[in-house]
Amino acid sequence: MAVSAVNAETLQQRGVSEAQDLTKLVPALKITGAAGGGTQVTIRGVGSFSGNAFAEPGVALNYDGVYLARSAGTNGLFFDLERVEVVKGPQGTLYGRNATAGAVNLVTRKPGAEFGGEAGVEIGNYDRIRAYGAVNLPLSDWAALRISGQTARRDGYLSDGYNDEDNDAVRALLKLDPSEDLSILLSADYSRAGGMGSAGVFTPFVDPSNPYLGPSSPASNLILSRTGLPLPPLRDDGFVDQTSWGVSA
């Protein structure tokens, strides 16, 4: 089957901190932001176009083998990863639910037998700053703990502040190997997503010299009012306030 795999080094070098960043790394994969901190995922043009955080994704999203049933489930997971796999084409044997177009698998770095850690800071335009770190703690010959986290801030790309980033996340993994025949991995994660949220540019022809004209601009709202549809004007006070957590074994 067709699989595109992106390793940890590439993810770190390309500054991947949220799901949308994968679009520039994997051919035929398109991930965009949706309302309320959700994501729209399509592979080869096939997927779900429900634009909210409560809709089920049209592409199977799996986190260490656990299916994420909501499109916002990927928020805060893109750090300290071993790799990301994109399985293209309909899946039915290994991946079932909502894998009509394929699957995106997030594989975390697991606890190891040696003490160690890493940390880093990224800075960029639009006042971007991202700090991340991880520590690996061997507890005994058969137990190890890995704790990691990240915080990311960036001003919005659009003129009215939308398409920004304001995320914090932490993860803990406990690996137990009491015998050669038994291995247990306990996982817990927590993330918070804030900021103004995602938006799009639907009037690029108004000012071709400014491709980042936000949807709440007077020109955009004027065109919206001329459609004759009973739609309220778009405003510049959007916000996201979302927390997610998960446990697995």
Q: pLDDT by residue (tens digit) across 98-134?
A: 888 899 999 999 999 999 999 999 999 999 999 999 9
Both 61 and 79 in one domain: the answer is yes
Both 88 and 8 in one domain: the answer is yes
Q: Find all residues with CB under 8 Å of 31, minimum gap 6, and list them.
A: 19, 20, 22, 23, 39, 40, 41, 42
How far is 49 from 56, CA to CA, in rounded Å? 10
Q: Of the residues 81, 108, 135, which one is the last residue of a structural domain? A: 108
State which amino acid sits at residue 90: P
Q: Of the residues 86, 108, 130, which one is the last residue of a structural domain? A: 108
Both 148 and 244 in one domain: the answer is yes
Domain limits at 146?
116-196+240-248
Q: Of the residues 60, 83, 108, which one is the last residue of a structural domain? A: 108
In a domain, 219, yes or no: no
What is the model's pTM?
0.87
Both 188 and 100 in one domain: the answer is no
Query: What 3-state DSSP class applies to 8?
Result: helix
In a domain, 71, yes or no: yes
Both 36 and 73 in one domain: the answer is yes
Both 98 and 178 in one domain: the answer is no
How far is 33 from 157, CA to CA, in rounded Å? 13
Q: If 0-12 CB within 10 Å is exposed, 13-18 middle and 19+ buried, where does residue 99 land?
A: buried
Task: Give 71's pLDDT tier (boundaries 50, 70, 90).
Answer: confident
Both 91 and 21 in one domain: the answer is yes
Residue with tokens 């071993």: 82
In a domain, 221, yes or no: no
Query: What 3-state DSSP class applies to 220?
Result: helix
Both 128 and 86 in one domain: the answer is no
How far is 211 from 196, CA to CA, in rounded Å? 19
DSSP letter, residue 109: P
Q: Which range (41-50, 51-60, 70-79, 161-170) has the least confidence?
A: 51-60
Total tally of structural domains belonging to the chain: 2
Q: What is the pLDDT of residues 147-187, one digit of tens each?
A: 999 999 999 999 999 999 999 999 999 999 999 999 999 99
Buried b (16+ CB within 10 A) or exposed e, 181-218: eeeebebebbbbbbbbbbbebebeeeeeeeeebbbbbe
